[in-house]
Structure 1
Amino acid sequence: MELLSKTEYKVAEHVTRGLSEKEIAAQMFISPKTVHNHTYNIRKKWNARSAVDICRMFILRLDNPRQFFATIICLTIQFHVIFNGEEMDLRRPVRTSVRVRSGRKNKD
């Protein structure tokens, strides 16, 4: 498999993060057509058929893929807690009793 250019590597990284071609173009300050051409070249070089294949190959080429998967698992748990938090009571319970102030009362 061929090595990617620096720009193709950055595009592959953004694809792995789940960004669309328009979002990648906006972040990299290039045309969406240029991003499309880069993804086409990546697919050709890596013999990938889809963005999923690009993601898989990008992750497997990392120095430490286990660290990447550990991060994804943590993010998935956080995502679950954030969006399913209505079902979980994560906050302290609301006080229902009336607070009585201690100390001297003004006798004016």
Structure 2
Amino acid sequence: MITNLERFKREMEPARQLYTREIQDFSKKYDALGEMSMEEFPDIDTQDYIFSFEKVNGASEEELDEIYIEISNHMEEFSRTHGIEKFCQNARIWL
């Protein structure tokens, strides 16, 4: 028997791949960000996807806040454009 979590993960897999490629490509333009990692935090029926970035080059908190807003806004618009809003609701970006 397939659990709701397994069903959710299977349904989200194409969106996860698309979102991951886009956030990696988009974030490359910021010198203050290094490697990105993605972790999955399962719940009963869904899970959250945490995209964390390494901070490099001594960026200030103000600069990181601006980068966070730009990336978040871009990924929300990207998700709407590509029909993956449901995935975006479970994606978190950490700088």
The TM-score bracket by the shorter chain reads: under 0.3
The structure, 1 or 2, with the larger RCO (C-alpha pairs under 8 Å, 6+ apart) is 2
- Higher CA-based Rg: 1
Higher helix share: 1
TM-score calculated relative to the size of structure 2: 0.27
TM-score calculated relative to the size of structure 1: 0.25
